[in-house]
Structure 1
Amino acid sequence: MAGQVRPAPPPQQPTLLVRRRALGGIPDVPRPQDLSTEEARALSETLFRRLAGLDEGTPEHACVRNTLVELNLSLVRFAARRFRGRAEPAQDIFQVGTIGLIKAINRFDVARGVDFASFALPTITGEMKRFFRDTSWAVQVPRRLQELRLRLAAARDVLGQELGRPPTTAELAAHLRITEAEVAEGDQASNAYTARSLDITDDDSGATAVLRTLGREDPSFDVIECLDALKPLIAALTDRERTILSLRFVDELTQADIGERVGLSQMHVSRVLTHIMDRLRTGLLDDGPAP
């Protein structure tokens, strides 16, 4: 529903017996959100392995998944900070990000050896961006047409992949089991989704006068924000750690080459880099209380 986020119902508290069966010997943490980032990361990996052995739809599976959600809510808070200047309520953004977190948990395969935070953040951020997209209507449009626009967009993606070309109006109508007139109506509703300039394109870049006046969003802003957040964390490293970090990510040397430069074995360099990245990740994800 555009402009609103329907809050998910609070998860039912599992009985003690169900929780014991769900954890299967894993220590129970009454308040997972109170753990440090490193503790939460280690416990998450253990719980993901436990989750893979449980049948989806069972109370045990739901219990472990809910615990994983609580453990990783800091990822939602981290992603939400990128959009703190938006007009939408912070609580709505947080709820939408939590939906993205749940999707990431459902799709994550711990056997691949990928860090969950790196896997989940794009999904969480994507869910937030989809929320902004679906609530950015230039004028008031009936809910029926808003939903029709979303169905048409999804159908175009599916049929476009199957056909290898944009689907026709007749093909969209047949796929969605609606009339061609309804397809046209949904397309008209899309015009109210984003207000477009009436200026005529008058240069080779395709930019209208309004776009040239307003400018475009610079993707480097995100990079600057991340670098600014990293500065105090990097400053807290030792001289040797900063040197190793620079050799790896500025000079792009291999771990073996770094070892020769600083007089360490490749394995030792690997351990130092892992320790550095863990500290930086912990510092970036460390945040205050949830909205």
Structure 2
Amino acid sequence: MDHTIALIQKSHEGDEEAKAQLVEENVGLVWCIVKRFYNRGAEAEDLFQIGSIGLLKAIDKFDVSYDVKFSTYAVPMISGEIKRFLRDDGLIKVSRSLKEIAYKAYLVQEELRKKWGREPTLQELADYMGVEKEELVMAMEANAEVESLHKTIYQKDGHEIQLMDKLKEQEVREDKVLDRMLLKELLDQLGKDERQLIFLRYFANKTQTEVGEIMGISQVQVSRTEKKILKKLREQI
């Protein structure tokens, strides 16, 4: 079994040491993504902390049954978390100390949720972290969404464009990136002839007869092979 997958499975079973090791082993990945967002008005350390939250979310949500590299799945999660932070941070400036409290609160909340089997109360969270409840509430609220998703940000062709519309567009773009990365992972596992057949059928829009002529096989062989490849891909997805 792959080393990373084994650690993720242990993490999903509540092994905090396995999760900590995964974070440690992927520190370089987080920093690599953070570098893309330099000179955006935020400190590198802040971006790293936010990116680490994306990494933790990727660890918790990754499905080990998918035949996809963890890094392929984690990259858009980390990047998306940083983008949301930069978007929100542009609306209201939050002190570094409050950001650190909010970041720590996220980690502790995850830890207590697994340890106790329920969501910790705000008071329990504050006591565990050694901070005042009011300070914790302030930190969490400061990092929450501070603008209505329905606020009009500009008008185009007589129609109002809301913040929610722009966020949906961003999510769709990020989903498309993830889909392309997943597709590449799947196609890389096919043989040379299998990749050629899929390319001709679904990217070059060739008929099965045309594919057969190009590859030197019959239309029936193309049909059988195509069904076999699609079945294999569906099982991996």
TM-score normalised by L of structure 2: 0.42
Which one has a bigger Cα radius of gyration?
A: 1
